[in-house]
Amino acid sequence: MSDYDKYVEQLRHPNNPIVFMEMTAGGAPLGTIVVRFTTYKFIKCS
């Protein structure tokens, strides 16, 4: 399995939450933004 395939499998993990945002402009639908959060890496902030 390639490194890319391993990364994709980590993203598909069922513990990673998915958020859907419906975008509109002036009441007209523009589309949906899908964000998948990963739980296996954390960003460190100072």
Token pair for 11: 């993203």
Q: What are the structural domain ranges in the chain?
A: 3-36
Q: What was the pLDDT predicted at 2?
A: 80
Token pair for 30: 């523009």
Q: What was the pLDDT predicted at 41?
A: 65
* Contacting residues for 18 by C-beta, under 8 A, at least 6 apart: 34, 35, 36, 37
**Torsion over CA of 37, 30, 23 and 18, rounded to 10 degrees?**
-20
Digit-by-digit pLDDT tens for the chain (46 residues) are 787 777 777 767 777 787 889 999 999 999 999 888 877 666 666 6
